[in-house]
């Protein structure tokens, strides 16, 4: 039995983010549902290929179900930052996508990276059920995060160091 087997059905929000200095950034996926926050560690390259894969997947759904409205790509950056606690459940090994046509929900399935010799049945799994717009926004925002050296401050747009930064928009207060 896997130690983690969770469904966020549906997520209130799902996002990705990076924390750390350029070249040493750690990437995360985070979904939340009510008071529950699930954070997973993901490699930068995984996030990048996931973003591309999600766009392709959405295009396929749209092709199959032409009457669906187009998924929105609009987001507010301040809402896309991950929230504390950044307390990852596991490091992602495999990612998959599925679609529940009846409820028009997309599922992002994240499976735990197993240590060498680990049994696949022991891998933790988290299923994030999202709207197509939430998935598209995750794709767009994910690519944005991958392409940046450092996360930028939602207040002033300046890059934020791991220690925080002195924000001119907050009169130099650290945040
Ligand atoms: Zn700032």
Instruction: For 23-44, write each residue's pLDDT tens digit.
Output: 688 999 999 999 999 999 999 9
**How many A from CA of 77 to the centre of ligand 1?**
13
pLDDT of residue 157: 78
**How many A from CA of 120 to the centre of ligand 1?**
44
**How many A from CA of 24 to the centre of ligand 1?**
21
**Phi, psi values for residue 170, rounded to 5°:** -115, 30
pLDDT at 162 over 90: no
Mean of the per-residue pLDDT values of the chain: 90
Angle of helix 132-147 versus helix 44-64 axis, rounded to 10: 150
**How many A from CA of 116 to the centre of ligand 1?**
42
Pairing of strands 105-112, 125-130: antiparallel
CA 112 → CA 20, 40, 51, 55, distances in Å?
22, 9, 19, 23
Instruction: Please give the Cα distance from 114 to 94 (Å, whole number).
Output: 10
**How many A from CA of 138 to the centre of ligand 1?**
23
What SS3 state is found at 62? helix
Beta strands in 20-60 (DSSP E): 26-33, 36-42
pLDDT at 1 over 60: no
pLDDT band at 66 (very low <50, low <70, confident <90, very high): very high
Instruction: Please give the Cα distance from 54 to 140 (Å, whole number).
Output: 10
pLDDT of residue 110: 98
Per-residue pLDDT tens over the stretch 80-130 = 999 888 999 999 999 999 999 999 999 999 999 998 888 888 899 999 999
């Amino acid at each position: 039995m896997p130690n983690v087997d969770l469904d966020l059905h549906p997520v209130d929000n799902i996002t990705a983010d990076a924390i750390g200095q350029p070249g040493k950034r750690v990437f995360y996926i985070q979904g939340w549902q009510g008071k529950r926050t699930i954070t997973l560690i993901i490699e930068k390259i995984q996030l990048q290929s996931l973003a591309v894969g999600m766009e392709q997947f959405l295009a396929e759904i749209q092709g199959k179900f032409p009457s669906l409205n187009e998924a929105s790509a609009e987001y507010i950056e301040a809402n896309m930052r991950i929230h504390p606690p950044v307390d990852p459940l596991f490091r992602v090994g495999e990612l998959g996508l599925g679609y529940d046509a009846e409820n028009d929900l997309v599922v992002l399935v994240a499976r735990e990276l197993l240590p060498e010799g680990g049994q696949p049945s022991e891998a933790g799994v988290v299923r994030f059920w999202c709207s197509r717009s939430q998935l598209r926004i995750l794709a767009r925002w994910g690519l944005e995060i991958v392409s940046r050296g450092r996360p930028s401050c939602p207040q002033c747009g300046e890059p934020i160091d791991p220690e925080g930064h002195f924000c001119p928009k907050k009169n130099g207060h650290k945040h």
